[in-house]
Protein backbone atom coordinates (compact mmCIF):
# COMPACT_ATOMS: atom_id res chain seq x y z
CA UNK A 1 0.00 0.00 0.00
CA UNK A 2 1.50 3.32 -1.08
CA UNK A 3 -0.86 5.69 0.70
CA UNK A 4 -2.28 4.18 3.91
CA UNK A 5 -5.19 5.78 5.77
CA UNK A 6 -4.02 4.54 9.18
CA UNK A 7 -1.16 3.01 11.12
CA UNK A 8 -1.44 0.86 14.24
CA UNK A 9 0.70 0.30 17.31
CA UNK A 10 0.27 -2.42 19.94
CA UNK A 11 2.26 -2.07 23.16
CA UNK A 12 2.34 -5.06 25.52
CA UNK A 13 3.49 -4.78 29.09
CA UNK A 14 3.61 -6.63 32.37
CA UNK A 15 0.65 -8.66 33.63
CA UNK A 16 -0.71 -8.99 30.07
CA UNK A 17 -1.56 -5.28 29.89
CA UNK A 18 -1.97 -3.88 26.38
CA UNK A 19 -2.31 -0.48 24.74
CA UNK A 20 -3.69 -0.42 21.20
CA UNK A 21 -3.47 2.73 19.06
CA UNK A 22 -4.71 3.23 15.50
CA UNK A 23 -3.74 6.66 14.13
CA UNK A 24 -5.85 7.86 11.21
CA UNK A 25 -4.98 10.31 8.47
CA UNK A 26 -7.37 12.99 9.75
CA UNK A 27 -5.39 13.45 12.98
CA UNK A 28 -7.53 11.32 15.27
CA UNK A 29 -6.85 7.94 16.83
CA UNK A 30 -8.62 4.98 18.37
CA UNK A 31 -6.85 4.34 21.68
CA UNK A 32 -7.89 1.36 23.79
CA UNK A 33 -6.24 -0.36 26.71
CA UNK A 34 -6.63 -3.41 28.91
CA UNK A 35 -4.89 -3.56 32.28
CA UNK A 36 -6.94 -6.34 33.85
CA UNK A 37 -10.25 -8.17 33.72
CA UNK A 38 -12.06 -5.19 35.27
CA UNK A 39 -9.97 -2.38 33.81
CA UNK A 40 -10.38 -1.78 30.08
CA UNK A 41 -11.31 1.47 28.42
CA UNK A 42 -10.70 3.96 25.63
CA UNK A 43 -8.70 7.18 25.85
CA UNK A 44 -9.53 10.43 24.01
CA UNK A 45 -7.42 11.20 20.97
CA UNK A 46 -7.92 13.92 18.38
CA UNK A 47 -6.20 16.93 16.89
CA UNK A 48 -2.90 15.14 16.24
CA UNK A 49 -1.26 17.28 13.56
CA UNK A 50 2.30 15.91 13.35
CA UNK A 51 4.52 12.94 14.07
CA UNK A 52 5.99 14.87 17.01
CA UNK A 53 2.53 15.40 18.54
CA UNK A 54 1.76 11.71 18.05
CA UNK A 55 4.97 10.79 19.90
CA UNK A 56 4.05 13.06 22.79
CA UNK A 57 0.54 11.60 22.95
CA UNK A 58 1.87 8.04 22.74
CA UNK A 59 4.23 8.70 25.66
CA UNK A 60 1.27 10.05 27.63
CA UNK A 61 -0.93 7.03 26.87
CA UNK A 62 1.87 4.60 27.79
CA UNK A 63 2.41 6.41 31.09
CA UNK A 64 -1.34 6.36 31.78
CA UNK A 65 -1.74 2.64 31.11
CA UNK A 66 1.52 1.18 32.35
CA UNK A 67 1.96 3.74 35.12
CA UNK A 68 -1.25 2.31 36.63
CA UNK A 69 0.41 -1.08 36.76
CA UNK A 70 3.52 0.11 38.56
CA UNK A 71 1.42 2.04 41.09
CA UNK A 72 -0.88 -0.89 41.79
CA UNK A 73 1.99 -3.39 42.06
CA UNK A 74 3.92 -1.07 44.40
CA UNK A 75 0.91 -0.66 46.68
CA UNK A 76 0.58 -4.42 47.02
CA UNK A 77 4.16 -4.75 48.33
State pTM to two decimals: 0.78
> Would you list the domain boundaries of the chain?
6-75
Asked whether the beta carbons of 48 and 57 are under 8 A apart, the reply is yes
Tens of pLDDT, residues 32-54: 999 988 889 999 899 999 999 99
Tens of pLDDT, residues 5-42: 999 999 998 888 999 999 999 999 999 999 988 889 99
Asked whether the beta carbons of 42 and 32 are under 8 A apart, the reply is yes
For the cut 60, the answer to whether the pLDDT of residue 68 exceeds it is no
Q: In the prediction, which pLDDT does 14 show?
A: 84
Amino acid sequence: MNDPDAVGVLVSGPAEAELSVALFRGGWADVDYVVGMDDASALPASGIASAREFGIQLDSWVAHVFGQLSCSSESSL
